[in-house]
Amino acid sequence: MQSPFVRLENVVKRFGPFTALNGVNLSVFRGEIHALLGDNGAGKSTLIKILAGVHRPTSGTIYIADDPVSFVSPREASEAGIGTVYQDLALNQLLSVTRNFFMGRELYWGPRPFGLLRLEEMDRITHDEMIKIGINISDPRQAVGTMSGGQRQTLAIARAIYFGAKVLILDEPTSALGQKQQMEVLKTMMRVRARGDIAIIFITHNEIHSKLVADRFTFLALGEVIGSGTHADLAHGDIRTLMAGGVEMRDLEAEVADAAGSRSG
């Protein structure tokens, strides 16, 4: 059986007296989309920042390909193959697609920063890498600001993969997009999954989007895992209940039923 490429064991993160994560376990496999779901304050952002090297866990262990790791910076996480695409995308809308693709990693003839940019080679690489995951940019020197939101997400994903991401963390990639652009991003995710060598962590509030593309689910509430399983394991009602906080949702439904009974009486 395939072993997880990323594994978290009993990860705890405290900020002073506040416990943001309390004994979180998570397994993410290559060639799969793993949806990480939960309401605001559930701990999703803290968890991905630990994986991305922004925060260090208070306790617990992170494994990459069965090797324990301890990242002290985002650079270390990136070198280990963790690519994070945040909601703001870290793109400069005034620069070209190519310049954004290679931002900070430009190719030069001669020593940096005094050499000449190898722009034609950079344009070709950018164009080819975008096509690999389904977006044909006819002019890679066009400004990123002229691209649709879905195309910008694809650019950020293609950039992360080209520069070595084996784990792709997508932070709410469809949240600020229209319906057509949301579908573009979901299709991009499925093309990346089809490669078979990338593990995708899909952070989302959108139950429908997670059901469309995810192979596995982990649900967080108040810093703890309240449910997990494969797509086949979870029925539609299970996903909806866990999205709403599990036991708390059932308690609320019971209170509503009691209140309705009291009014009718």
How far apart CA 43 and CA 220 sit, in angstroms, is 7
Instruction: Report whether 259 contacts 248 (CB < 8 A).
Output: no
Of residues 241 and 92, which shows the higher confidence score? 92
pLDDT digits (tens, 9 = 90+) for 74-118: 999 999 999 999 877 788 889 999 999 999 898 888 777 777 889
What domains can you pick out in the chain, each with its CATH number?
A: 6-90+166-264 (3.40.50.300)
pLDDT digits (tens, 9 = 90+) for 162-215: 999 999 999 999 887 888 889 999 999 999 999 999 999 999 988 889 889 999
| Cα angle, residue 205 at apex, residues 74 and 73 outer, rounded to 5° | 5
| Cα angle, residue 140 at apex, residues 161 and 79 outer, rounded to 5° | 20
pLDDT range class, residue 240, cuts 50, 70, 90:
low
Q: Please tell me the predicted confidence (pLDDT) of residue 178.
A: 87
How far apart CA 183 and CA 187 sit, in angstroms, is 6
Q: Please tell me the predicted confidence (pLDDT) of residue 254.
A: 59
pLDDT digits (tens, 9 = 90+) for 105-152: 988 887 777 778 899 999 999 999 999 988 888 899 999 999 988 899
Residue 253 in this model has a pLDDT that exceeds 60: no
Residue 251 in this model has a pLDDT that exceeds 70: no
Q: Which of 148-162, 226-240, 244-258 has the highest mean pLDDT?
A: 148-162
What are the E-state strand segments in the chain? Answer: 6-15, 18-28, 33-37, 59-64, 67-69, 82-85, 108-109, 116-117, 167-171, 199-204, 216-221, 224-230
Cα of first residue to Cα of last residue in the chain, in angstroms, is 57
Q: Please tell me the predicted confidence (pLDDT) of residue 96.
A: 95
SS3 58: coil
Q: Please tell me the predicted confidence (pLDDT) of residue 249.
A: 47
- The chain-wide mean pLDDT, for the chain, equals 87
pLDDT digits (tens, 9 = 90+) for 5-63: 999 999 999 999 999 999 999 999 999 999 999 888 899 999 999 999 999 999 999 99
Locate all alpha helices (DSSP H) within 215-246, ordered by sequence: 236-243
Q: How many CA atoms lie within 13 A of 43 on its CB side?
A: 28
- Tokens standing for 98? 């190519």
Q: Please tell me the predicted confidence (pLDDT) of residue 264.
A: 56
Residue 236 in this model has a pLDDT that exceeds 70: no
- Tokens standing for 108? 């030069």
Q: Please tell me the predicted confidence (pLDDT) of residue 258.
A: 66
The whole model's pTM is what?
A: 0.85
> Tokens 């020593």 appear where?
111
